[in-house]
Amino acid sequence: MSTTAAATAIPETIVAWFHENGRILPWRESGFSAWGTLVSEFMLQQTPVNRVIPHLNAWLERWPTPADLAAAPPAEALRAWSSLGYPRRALWLHAAAVEITERHGGVVPSDVDQLLALSGVGDYTARAVAAFAYGMRHPVVDTNTRRVIARAVQGQAEPAPPSRTRDLAAMEELLPESLQDARDFNAGIMELGALVCVARTPRCGDCPIRDQCAWIAAGSPAYLGPRKSVQKKFEGSDRQVRGLIMKELRAAHKPVTATEIDTVWPDAAQRERALRGLIADGLAVASAEGGYTLPHG
């Protein structure tokens, strides 16, 4: 199939499939707020959907608007973040809420450049909010999107390492002109990559675009191209130690002593390195009373 034909046939097929098979998720419900969309995108970074939903619901019940979160101390955002991981996201989200309240009258902006100016908002999140919350026509590219395009259009088993310019151009070429179809295609291609065109064991027999897929047509060859670096395993890593220290800080409403922190991990050098990293990232602060606490504002 030519690239031009693929640019027409693949989006049409995926949109139709998505209408029939898309999961019912909070951020896809009619009337879901732009603030809710922004919060969900922060939470979904490197975190599975099933873990995010209960945290998202609780967060939006407690802080239904940016102004509500902005009025709370950063420590409360970190506590509410709980076990989602990568807690800097909570601090960035709190900072973004303050910025939205102060700069935009408490309304999440729809303009990509204004969204990018918010703390913690990168290119994917800005485009996702503009496309999914406001229905604007922007290519939205995540890991799942890249994998589907690599296989279906480029005939490769895996995508090459991320390239903003190349990835957005590849998605733009497929993106329908209709605002509604563009929104549904952005969501649908992600859904296809998450549920069917998965990384290790793709369910090609269930794929709606299997007859249009360049990778299948080529005989499903193994990927021999460059790969992005693989993240080190969590067990025994500094990330795990940071998480254990953060758990202590979230549970306490008074300073956690150095002696208490010493109990969370046996390796003193790694423990100290993790604690220094948390302080440098603004996730922990030394208390004037001695010990360490979450940031208070």
CA angle 94, 246, 42 (to 5 degrees): 35
> 162: which 2 tokens?
């991320």
CA angle 116, 54, 39 (to 5 degrees): 10
**Cα-flanking dihedrals φ and ψ of residue 256, to 5°?**
-90, 125
Contacts for 92 with CB less than 8 Å, ≥ 6 apart: 42, 119, 120, 121
CA atoms within 13 A on the CB side of 260: 16
In DSSP terms, 292 is beta-bridged to: 256, 286
**Cα-flanking dihedrals φ and ψ of residue 293, to 5°?**
-135, 170
The reply to whether 272 belongs to the active site is: no
Residue of 132, 160, 130 whose CA lies nearest to 146: 160
Which helix (H) or strand (E) covers residue 286, if one does? strand 285-286
> 175: which 2 tokens?
């993106």
In DSSP terms, 286 is beta-bridged to: 292
Candidates 20, 41, 99, 289; catalytic one: 41
**Cα-flanking dihedrals φ and ψ of residue 198, to 5°?**
-80, 170
Contacts for 32 with CB less than 8 Å, ≥ 6 apart: 26, 133
Q: Is the dihedral of CA 91, 96, 99, 100 positive or negative?
A: negative
> 239: which 2 tokens?
């990330």
> 253: which 2 tokens?
């409403």
The residues assigned a catalytic role are 41
